[in-house]
């Protein structure tokens, strides 16, 4: 089984969004499994690699790119950890689900999805848990949304074997995932708005359209919010940087605009629109200095 993952060139060139990495099948009997499925060992290794790419881009002074990696890894790892806890609870562990997961950093599909809406894993594991409980019709919607996200593997996923893991193995998996969460969230703290979940927030084109609609209505703060979400969805498209810089300008957040222009040019150094924005800002500074 192949898994579409975020392993990008260190040069931060925009030519590749992702590369395809092989995922192994879990053999019969390993970790108490019955049958084959997507290896959670590989899942953890890939998310660790994505977290490390967040570290690298943070060290390079690229905060938007580092947020992209940290938030994707965080949402994905938290989703699997919450799924493991949910199954433990279904097996009789704890009292209520809320109390059983209270010691974890983030719980609930809505909350976890809000960390990075481009990750297909909150929706996938939400569907999985509904399927495990026999709620097949309800499971169809989150499964469908996960499947249309660009970073959902074409070959699909199969974590159903989690249901058949022993309680001991599930606790071990939960603790391993919690440790990785600790590392991710020590470097990055998600900003959760608590807004109602919109399952289209994985789509950068949709988010750019929403930001332009809000800008047309003169709601520049909302426009900038959608522009920021577009950057978390796909920072490897020059259009999202152009849009973010424009929305920051409309919102009169010139410091943020400069940040978007500079970081966008680090990835797209020849982009004419971003170069125009930079020159316009330099010209404005020159005029201000000449007037003093």
Q: Which domains does the chain have, with CATH numbers?
A: 2-187 (no CATH), 204-291 (1.25.40.10)
Considering just the CA atoms, what is the radius of gyration of the chain in Å?
A: 21
DSSP 24: P
pLDDT on residue 249: 93
Strand bridging mode 2-5 / 19-22 = antiparallel
Are the CB atoms for 262 and 64 separated by under 8 Å? Answer: no
pLDDT on residue 193: 66
Q: Can you list the alpha helix ranges (DSSP code H) found in the chain?
A: 40-59, 63-90, 97-100, 109-113, 121-132, 136-148, 167-187, 204-216, 220-233, 238-250, 254-267, 272-291
Task: Report how far apart the first and last C-alpha atoms of the chain are (Å, whole number).
Answer: 64
pLDDT on residue 194: 63
Q: Give the residue from 36, 4, 37 showing the smallest Cα distance to 19.
A: 4
pLDDT on residue 29: 44
Cα separation, 4 vs 112, in Å, equals: 20
Tokens 């109390």, residue?
99
Please list the rounded mean pLDDT of every run of 10 residues in the chain (292 residues): 31 35 42 63 92 93 94 96 98 95 94 93 97 96 94 88 95 97 96 75 94 95 94 93 95 93 93 92 76 60
Are the CB atoms for 281 and 251 separated by under 8 Å? Answer: no
pLDDT on residue 284: 77
Q: Give the residue from 219, 220, 283 showing the smallest Cα distance to 249.
A: 220
Q: Give the residue from 98, 280, 70, 69 showing the smallest Cα distance to 189.
A: 70
Nearby residues of 35 by Cβ (< 8 Å), 6 or more positions away: 28, 161
pLDDT on residue 286: 80
pTM: 0.86
């Amino acid at each position: 089984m192949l898994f579409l993952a975020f392993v990008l060139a260190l040069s931060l060139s925009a030519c590749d969004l992702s590369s395809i990495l092989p995922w192994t099948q879990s053999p019969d009997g390993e970790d108490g499994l019955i049958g084959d499925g997507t290896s959670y060992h590989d899942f953890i290794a890939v998310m660790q690699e994505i977290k490390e790419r967040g570290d690298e881009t943070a060290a390079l002074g690229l905060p938007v790119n580092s947020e992209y990696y940290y938030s994707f890894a965080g949402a994905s790892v938290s989703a699997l950890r919450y799924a493991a806890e949910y199954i433990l609870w279904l097996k009789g562990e704890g009292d209520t689900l809320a109390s059983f997961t209270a010691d974890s950093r983030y719980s609930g599909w809505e909350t976890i999805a809000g960390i990075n809406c481009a990750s297909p894993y909150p929706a996938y594991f939400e569907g999985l848990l509904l399927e495990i409980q026999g709620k097949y019709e309800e499971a169809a919607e989150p499964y469908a949304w996960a499947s249309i996200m660009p970073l959902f593997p074409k070959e699909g996923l199969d974590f159903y074997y989690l249901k058949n893991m022993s309680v001991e193995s599930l606790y071990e998996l939960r603790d391993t995932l919690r440790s990785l969460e600790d590392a991710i969230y020590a470097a990055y703290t998600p900003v959760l708005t608590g807004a109602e979940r919109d399952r289209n927030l994985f789509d950068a084109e949709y988010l750019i359209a929403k930001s332009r609609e809000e800008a047309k209505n003169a709601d520049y703060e909302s426009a900038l919010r959608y522009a920021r979400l577009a950057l978390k969805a796909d920072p490897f498209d020059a259009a999202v940087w152009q849009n973010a810089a424009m929305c920051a300008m409309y919102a009169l957040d010139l410091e943020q605009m400069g940040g978007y222009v500079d970081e966008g040019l680090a990835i797209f150094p020849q982009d004419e629109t971003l170069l125009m924005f930079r020159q316009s800002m330099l010209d404005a500074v020159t005029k201000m200095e000449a007037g003093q």
